[in-house]
Amino acid sequence: MSLLPNIAVIQQKLREYKFDGWLFYNFRGCNQFATKILAMPSGKLSSRRYFYFIPASGVPQKLVHNIEQFDLDHLSGEKTIYSQWTTLHAGLKKILSGSKTICMEYSPNNDIPYLSKVDAGTVEFIRTFGTQIVSSGDIVQYFEARWDDEQYHDAQDSANILLGTIDIAFNFIGESLRNGNRVTEYNVQQVIMNEFKRNNLITYAPANCSVNGNGANPHYDPNESDSTEIRKGDYILIDWWAKKNKPGAVYADFTWVGYAGTDIPKKYQEVFDIVKGSRDAAVEYLKKEFSAGRKVRGCDVDNVTRKFIEDRGFGKYFIHRTGHNIGEEVHGNGAHIDNFETMDVREIIPETCFSIEPGIYLPGEFGIRLEIDVYITKNKEVILLGDKYQKEIVKINC
pLDDT digits (tens, 9 = 90+) for 201-227: 999 999 999 999 999 999 999 999 999
Check whether domain 146-395 has CATH 3.90.550.10, yes or no? no
Q: Give Cβ neighbours of residue 276 (< 8 Å, ≥ 6 apart).
A: 370, 390, 391
* 194: amino acid identity, one letter: N
Round to whole Å and give the CA distance between 123 and 132: 9
CB 189 within 8 A of CB 151: no
pLDDT at 43: 77
Tell me how far CA of residue 39 lies from CA of 5, 81, 144, in angstroms: 7, 20, 11
Number of C-beta neighbours around residue 108 at 10 A: 13
pLDDT digits (tens, 9 = 90+) for 130-183: 999 999 999 999 999 999 999 999 999 999 999 999 999 999 999 999 999 999
pLDDT at 2: 43
7-144: which CATH topology? Creatine Amidinohydrolase; Chain A, domain 1 (3.40.350)
Question: pTM score, two decimals?
Answer: 0.94
CB 50 within 8 A of CB 67: no
Round to whole Å and give the CA distance between 209 and 192: 10
Round to whole Å and give the CA distance between 31 and 176: 48
Cα angle 22, 28, 31; round to 5 = 35
Q: Give Cβ neighbours of residue 111 (< 8 Å, ≥ 6 apart).
A: 342, 343, 344, 345
Q: Is the dihedral of CA 214, 215, 216, 219 positive or negative?
A: positive
In the chain, what are the domain boundaries?
Answer: 7-144, 146-395
Phi then psi for residue 226, to 5 deg, are -140, 90
Tell me how far CA of residue 292 lies from CA of 218, 228, 257, 280, 343, in angstroms: 35, 48, 34, 18, 24
For helices 137-144 and 7-16, the axis angle rounded to 10 degrees is 150
Cα angle 49, 52, 57; round to 5 = 160
Round to whole Å and give the CA distance between 175 and 375: 35
pLDDT at 3: 57
Tell me how far CA of residue 188 lies from CA of 134, 141, 171, 194, 195, in angstroms: 47, 36, 10, 10, 11
Q: What is the distance in angstroms between the CA of the first residue and the CA of the last residue of the chain?
A: 53
Q: pLDDT tens digits, the chain, 398 residues: what are they?
A: 345 789 999 999 999 999 999 999 999 999 999 999 999 988 777 899 999 999 999 999 999 999 999 999 999 999 999 999 999 999 999 999 999 999 999 999 999 999 999 999 999 999 999 999 999 999 999 999 999 999 999 999 999 999 999 999 999 999 999 999 999 999 999 999 999 999 999 999 999 999 999 999 999 999 999 999 999 999 999 999 999 999 999 999 999 999 999 999 999 999 999 999 999 999 999 999 999 999 999 999 999 999 999 999 999 999 999 999 999 999 999 999 999 999 999 999 999 999 999 999 999 999 999 999 999 999 999 999 999 999 999 999 99
Round to whole Å and give the CA distance between 335 and 348: 6
DSSP state of 263: S
